Amino acid sequence: MTWQEIQGHDAIFERFRSAHLRGRLSGSFLFIGAAGIGKKRFAFALAKGLLCKGESGHRLEPCGTCESCLQFGFNPQSEQVNAIPTHPDFFYVAKPADKSFIPLEFLIGSKEHRGGEGLCFDISRTPYLGNRKVAVIDDADYLNSEGANAILKTLEEPPPDSLLILIGTSTAKQLPTIRSRCRIIRFSPLPPRALAAILLKNDVVSTLEQGLNLARRSNGSYDQARELYDEAIDKIRADFEKQLTSRIIDSVNLATQLNNFIDEVGKEAPLRRRRLKLILNIAINHFREKLKQANSHESMQIAAERLNSVLEAIEQVDMNANLPYVIEAWCNRL
Ligand SMILES: [Zn+2]
């Protein structure tokens, strides 16, 4: 069985579980592996399991219903891990998008309150809910020497019953002082089958076959797979916009292309509808732009009519109309 539906890292989980069952899961860990393979998701799920006060907590399986689990939130099965759990015994820092390293105040507090706030202080305090605390330092590749020095003591002697997890992409990017004070856990790229299953679950693809195909080109990284997928959409977008720009649109050709595009996702109606709407939304933006730029009454009228036709087509899709029919009717109106 896959722990928390996290694919591809069962062996690592078993190591953590066995340490936990022996009552020895604490200290400083450095998670290493490529971007987009689930390290952060794993760290969050581990924290949730460790902080769980329910029966299943001793197996690191969050019960989902205790005070701690409810407070923690975070569903490892959802696609995004952008929402950071809020729990009084869980602490998280990462590099802000507009900074080139993790700010010192995140780790040891601002100049005025140095040592009295920040991650190192937070993790040293008595737990609120249970008897454990977990801290995650994401983007550890971006710890500069000042930041690294500030956390050395905490890394070396973490407070009892606390777990500190650093997440980075390669050991080469970590300062030796950090590397030597953490247990290094290496995460492998996701095997094609595991990645395909994730892509399928998140509706990126509609068949396992397509998932495997995309997975094999993505180096075992979900992020890379998403990028490739978005690229495919972008390619269609460029071609589609070119056609919309022509004064006289070849409606037969356009209809065929749109039908092919939605056929690619298979037979499931919700996926097909979603795909068609994706393309219709591109058309909406396109004609809105045209309307703004129109420099004659005639071109304004054309753009407005075309915009209207897309809005109607979307309405029909939302009313579960037959998609090839919607496409044909819309292309003819253009
Ligand atoms: Zn629980």
**pLDDT tens-digit series, residues 112-159:** 999 899 999 999 999 999 889 999 999 999 999 999 999 999 999 999
Residue 196 lies in a domain: no
Confidence label for 236 from pLDDT (cuts 50, 70 and 90): confident
Q: Could you count the other beta carbons within 10 Å of the beta carbon of residue 219?
A: 15
> 261: CA distance to ligand 1 center in Å?
44
Total tally of structural domains belonging to the chain: 2
* Domain's final residue, options 138, 171, 188: 188
Residue 8 lies in a domain: yes
Residue 220 lies in a domain: no
| pLDDT > 60? residue 266 | yes
Q: Pinpoint the alpha helices (H) of 202-268.
A: 208-216, 222-245, 251-263
| pLDDT > 80? residue 270 | no
Confidence label for 79 from pLDDT (cuts 50, 70 and 90): low
> 51: CA distance to ligand 1 center in Å?
7
> 264: CA distance to ligand 1 center in Å?
42
Give the CATH number of the domain where residue 100 resides: 3.40.50.300
| pLDDT averaged over every residue in the chain | 90
Listed residue (20, 29, 287, 288) closest to 178, CA to CA: 29
On whether both 60 and 141 belong to a single domain, the answer is yes
What are the phi and psi torsion angles at 87 (to 5°)? -150, 135
> 65: CA distance to ligand 1 center in Å?
5
| pLDDT > 80? residue 268 | no
On whether both 106 and 17 belong to a single domain, the answer is yes
pLDDT for the residue 7: 81
Listed residue (231, 194, 200) closest to 216, CA to CA: 194
Residue 227 lies in a domain: no
* Domain's final residue, options 139, 163, 188: 188
> 169: CA distance to ligand 1 center in Å?
30
Q: Among 245-249, 257-261, 330-334, which is the least confidently predicted range?
A: 245-249
On whether both 167 and 267 belong to a single domain, the answer is no
Domain that holds residue 264: 246-333
pLDDT for the residue 192: 93
> 3-class DSSP state for residue 93?
strand
Residue 43 lies in a domain: yes
On whether both 180 and 328 belong to a single domain, the answer is no
> 64: CA distance to ligand 1 center in Å?
5
> 127: CA distance to ligand 1 center in Å?
16
> 58: CA distance to ligand 1 center in Å?
10
On whether both 269 and 184 belong to a single domain, the answer is no
> 66: CA distance to ligand 1 center in Å?
4
Q: Give the CA radius of gyration of the chain.
A: 25
Residue 204 lies in a domain: no
